[in-house]
Amino acid sequence: NAGVTQTPKFRVLKTGQSMTLLCAQDMNHEYMYWYRQDPGMGLRLIHYSVGEGTTAKGEVPDGYNVSRLKKQNFLLGLESAAPSQTSVYFCASSPPEATVYGYTFGSGTRLTVV
Amino acid sequence: DQQVKQNSPSLSVQEGRISILNCDYTNSMFDYFLWYKKYPAEGPTFLISISSIKDKNEDGRFTVFLNKSAKHLSLHIVPSQPGDSAVYFCAATVHRGAQKLVFGQGTRLTINP
């Protein structure tokens, strides 16, 4: 029972490079989310999806794009990485009853932009 | 504008005693509140939640209390165990639609033997 799997786990990028973070869930959850965690700021929502083919902006969407072509996958893209995007990125998924059972999070991707 | 605040960055408690973690919120539209626990190099894991129609919810050693008039909730852990040492996040949401969670900054709990 894998739950939510994030790849890669670590990455170092140079300013201006692009990359895609992959999130895969095997729980048939409708909703998926991307958060970033920075020291002293908790987790902040970047983008989210309420179903296959749908995406929406969260609290801090600038500099990121997302796609959900398949229900089980949610991709986060950085087109031109900046040092301010150095962070730990968490993907999560949930059923519509998330408020009772909570989200399921992946183990995170630590991204450093130099 | 921080809608969910955890004003204590850290808390140290002796093993066997009670741990109390606090959380305040400003948005009166929030109607569900959750607590997550996070170990280093892992994702947050769900602990317990409470609806705004309740003032208390209990699950084993964990109890969450909600004071709507004060916009304040707390997580009680009794008795505290060494494995409880982790970062605890409070989160809030509106129980409709995408149910996006708004997180506090986290409190690092250390249980001392």
CA closest to A57 among chain B residues: B100
For B82-110, write each residue's pLDDT tens digit: 999 999 999 999 877 777 899 999 999 99
User: In this model, does residue B43 exceed pLDDT 90?
Assistant: yes
What is the distance of C-alpha B50 from the center of its chain?
10
What is the DSSP secondary structure assignment for residue B52, as one 8-state letter?
T
Query: What's the start-to-end Cα distance of chain A, in Å?
Result: 36
Residue A99 — pLDDT band, cuts 50, 70, 90? confident
Tell whether A64 lies on the interface with B, counting CB pairs under 8 A.
Answer: no
The conformation of residue A108, written as its DSSP 8-state character, comes to -
Alpha carbon A11 to chain centroid distance?
14
Residues 6+ apart with CB under 8 A from A109: A6, A7, A8, A9, A10, A11, A21, A88, A89, A90
**Predicted confidence (pLDDT) at residue A1 exceeds the cutoff of 70:** no
Inspect the interface and report whether the beta carbons of A102 and B4 lie closer than 8 Å.
Answer: no
How close, in Å, is residue B73 to chain A by CA atoms? Answer: 16
- Among chain B residues, the shortest Cα distance to A110 is held by B41
Chain B residues closer than 8 Å to A56 by CB: 98
Burial class (CB in 10 A: 0-12, 13-18, 19+), A39: exposed
